[in-house]
Amino acid sequence: MNDLQHPHRAVDRYVTRTGDGDERISLDALEPILDLARDFDAVIVGPGLGREVPTRKLVKRLVKSLESRIVLDADGLNAFAGAPARLDKTKADLVLTPHPGELGRILGTSASAIQKDREGAVELLGIHAPRAVLVLKGAGSIVARHTPRRMAVNETGNPGMATAGAGDVLSGIVATLLAQKMDPWEAARLAVWLHGRAGDLVEGRRRFRLVLAIAAAVAIAGITLFSALAGPQSRAYASIITVAITLVLAIGGAMLGLGIRTWSGLVNEPAAGGGNPTGPAAAAAIAIDPEERVLLDRLQRLMEEARIYREEGLSIASLASRLGLPEYRLRRLINQRLGHRNFTSFVNGYRLAETIAALSDTGQAQVPILTIALDAGFQSIGPFNRAFKAQTGMTPSDFRRDHMARDAQQAAE
């Protein structure tokens, strides 16, 4: 078979095996790859490439030269470590899909620093690559583009998706939608939502598989024991019982699955008015077991009495440590029990409540808005302004001005 029937063979000849068993692709593969890419509407660059110096050079030249739409992931992103401005030197549409570690390498910082201010990190990369669409993966994945300026936070997905290979699946979904001529922004948003939704469906089914398996094992063991102890005539009845139990298990499993999916939809349904409940009202919104009630009470005391949301660098990991919980349990409590799309949404609910009260207080009319925001735990003015406007529909300045004018009018009357 020739290279036309198997076009990848035109590139295989430029791949060599290193002494430790890894494979390395030569910079000489640039032109053959570009020739192949001309037949495709979208190309994924990165997964499995490696971080050898020739590979990094190849990736940079590919991104600069490709005319097909590009999804840059994994080692494709690592090739731009410390060089974010080079991501703007593309001919084609570009979608980046980093996790916090990869974005940190591009911006010359750590994954923990990215997690402390995810929206700020997204904005910083947008300054260097304004035309690219960025998908910052993680809890509450952010999809953003600097020019024109757009940002969205995804609400689907769960901690079980933090596993090797999940990001490659997302890249494939993005590339598939790009190949269908979708706008890169819309393609990235839809891909992230679909990816997370698929993970949520799997998570919902996991909850009853174990119960169903145990029930089946107990039924089989019981029938086997009955058959061993009973006579020939009784064994015929055992066969009938086996068929009946099998039908019951099948019907019960289907009903249980339907029930769990319905329950999950109710738990994740937004509160009236589009917001998420915060504080005691949130705990009362969903029926929970006594153990989770204790955890919720401890969490609420930390938030309402200790005001831990004011602490600099607060993360879900540090809060889970304070509560003595595994991080996944705290995340599940916040997402599935309290109805918040992510940890930031949960914490910002308390921060916004404090800032709204402060901006409505005539006694604090001379306190700068920035001071109020920082005192409440926001790390910078940009994320505060966006969160405040999303919650109230007004900028902090307009909100304060409106309330001060209303209070003055009431005083005059």
Residues 171 and 231 in one domain: no
Residues 248 and 300 in one domain: no
Distance CA 200, CA 244 (A): 32
b/e code 265-299 from CB counts within 10 Å (16+ = b): eeeeeeeeeeebbbeeebbebbebeeebeebbeeb
235 Cβ neighbours under 8 A, 6+ residues apart: 227
- pTM to 2 decimals? 0.57
Residues 71 and 193 in one domain: yes
Instruction: Name the percent of the chain in helix, strand, coil, to the closest 5.
Output: 65, 5, 30
- Looking at 156, 172, 197, the residue that finishes a domain is 197
Distance CA 170, CA 343 (A): 22
Residues 137 and 189 in one domain: yes
> Residue 108 belongs to a domain with what CATH number?
3.40.1190.20
Residue 4 lies in a domain: no
Residues 114 and 36 in one domain: yes
Burial of 206 (0-12, 13-18, 19+ CB in 10 A): exposed
Distances from the Cα of 311 to the Cαs of 138, 183, 347, 377, in angstroms? 22, 40, 11, 6
Residues 183 and 238 in one domain: no
DSSP 84: G
**Contact, 192 vs 186, CB < 8 A?**
no
Q: What is the pLDDT of residue 402?
A: 87
Residues 320 and 390 in one domain: yes
Q: What is the pLDDT of residue 268?
A: 36
**Contact, 340 vs 286, CB < 8 A?**
no
CA 146 to mean position of chain CA atoms: 20
Look at the block and give the residue holding tokens 């339907």.
258
Residue 14 lies in a domain: yes
**Tell me: the pLDDT tens digits for 164-181?**
788 899 999 999 999 999
- Domain span holding position 191: 9-197
Task: Tell me which residues of the chain have a pLDDT lower than 70.
Answer: 1-9, 19-21, 204-212, 215, 219, 222-289, 413
Residues 393 and 308 in one domain: yes
Residue 1 lies in a domain: no
- Looking at 239, 273, 307, the residue that finishes a domain is 273
Instruction: Give the count of domains, the chain.
Output: 3
Q: What is the pLDDT of residue 269?
A: 32
Residues 368 and 293 in one domain: yes
Residue 3 lies in a domain: no
Residue 18 lies in a domain: yes
Residues 329 and 291 in one domain: yes
Residue 336 lies in a domain: yes
Residues 236 and 295 in one domain: no
- Looking at 273, 288, 311, the residue that finishes a domain is 273
Q: What is the pLDDT of residue 46?
A: 93
Q: What is the pLDDT of residue 277?
A: 37
Query: Using alpha carbons only, what angle is made at residue 316 by residues 338 and 350, rounded to the nearest 5 degrees?
Result: 55
**Contact, 395 vs 385, CB < 8 A?**
yes
Q: What is the pLDDT of residue 290?
A: 76
In this structure, the chain runs to a length of 413
> Residue 405 belongs to a domain with what CATH number?
1.10.10.60
Residues 247 and 134 in one domain: no
